[in-house]
Structure 1
Amino acid sequence: MSHIPRNYKIVEEKMISTTDLSLGYGRELIDTELDTGAFNFVVKPIVKAFYKIWSDNNARVGTLKQIKIALDSAKTLLENGEITKERFDEVINKNFPNYLENDQTDKQCKKDHKHYKKLKEITKKSFISQVEECILFLNINEDVKNYHELSRAAFKTKENALQALKRQLDYNEDGIAIVEEDDSILNVPAGKNIIVSVLRKGFEMTKFKLIEELDIIFN
């Protein structure tokens, strides 16, 4: 089972790298959005300060915890016998509350909002998908040394990898769409439209980069 900790480290490093990429896009975009928009001198610093605190602290720390929860869930399932539906559901239900608590979008949403339940359901589906993919990665016993080699061993083809990536991206897309549809769900001090715009554009930039990377992995 020595391949599990090896693969765990490879996947963890990749997921952290993707998190930092996405947050980096967000920091760039918040400046652009504020500079080009018609915002007064009172709103600008509030929005910028909020986003900086959120992205530098809450979002990154929370996402890193989510990464660990997903990987640990997969590791637990792999190391403790056959993965039955009952065992899988038990691990998901046990760990999802902690995963949700650390979700960067969930933290900024009103829990009594009419669309919150739908957003929570999407977050759980995303968590399940992440754990399933982590199981796939962690279970690779071939001699791999990096994420590209691990991806090729896990998915075999670019088409399979793209399908898995799109499944995860679709959940992110659905979550952002809910916030776009009614930004009153956000519990932020000011500039909700800017925050939503940054979420959307940052997501699209990250999505493009991840899909583009598949060409390199499966060249």
Structure 2
Amino acid sequence: MDYIERNFNILEEEMIKQMNNALNFGRKLIDTELKTGIFNPLIKPLAKKFYDSWSKNNAKVGTLKQIDITLNCGKQLIQNGSSQKEFDALIEKYFQGYLEGDQTYIYCDKKHKNFVKLKEINKKLFIIQVRGAMEMMQIKKDVNNYKELTRAVFKTKKEAYDSLIRNIDYNDEAIKLTEKNPSILKVPMGKKII
């Protein structure tokens, strides 16, 4: 079962790399998208300072928690058998921890009328992420990196595309729900930007 650990490590490394790329991209957006006119010399450094603090202390910590939970849940299911009953039980066991790493959840009004709906979307996303991690961890073929691992999992571009779209669809659903209900976020300003 060394292949499971190998694939776990490949996935973890890639997920962390993608997280860091996304956070770095967010920082670059401050330079290119934030336009405050004559206040630029004052506002941009403050915005960067805030973003750096938030990304290091909140987003990065939360995302690393989600990565750890997703991969370990998938690994545990592979090692202990993944009957539907066992799968459902582990999803229930780990979902709250996964959710607590989600930045939208952290800043949500838990009493909002659409909070339960947002939580359900996040649960569906967690489930497909665990299933995807399980599928990738079970590849026995000799692979050395993420590119080789994905090629072993997805036989065609369509399979890879369909898998990606499932993730994007749930993310889009959560974004649309938040856009239609900005009061679901407990932030004093900047809801339109988020």
- TM-score scaled to structure 2, two decimals? 0.90
1:23 is matched with which residue? 23
1:61 is matched with which residue? 61
Contact 2:36 2:43 in 1 (8 A): no
Counterparts of 1:90-129 in structure 2, within 5 Å, are 90-129=89-128
How big is the shift at 1:52? 3.3
Distance 1:54 1:97, change over 3 A: same
Secondary structure (helix, strand or coil) at the match of 1:105 reads: helix
Counterparts of 1:142-157 in structure 2, within 5 Å, are 142-157=141-156
Structure 2 CA distance for aligned equivalents of residues 142 and 93 of structure 1: 31
Secondary structure (helix, strand or coil) at the match of 1:192 reads: coil
Aligned residue-pair number: 194
Contact 2:31 2:44 in 1 (8 A): no
- TM-score scaled to structure 1, two decimals? 0.81
Identity of aligned residues (%): 52
How big is the shift at 1:41? 9.7
Moved over 4 A (4+): 36-50
How big is the shift at 1:42? 9.4
Aligned AA (1:97): Q
Aligned AA (1:95): Y
Structure 1 regions of 5+ residues with no counterpart?
197-219
Structure 1 CA distance for aligned equivalents of residues 191 and 45 of structure 2: 14
Relative contact order, CA 8 A, sep 6+: which one is greater?
A: 1
How big is the shift at 1:181? 1.5
Aligned AA (2:24): G
Structure 2 regions of 5+ residues with no counterpart?
none
2:6 is matched with which residue? 6
How big is the shift at 1:34? 2.7
- Please, what is the CA RMSD of the aligned residues? 2.2
How big is the shift at 1:45? 7.4
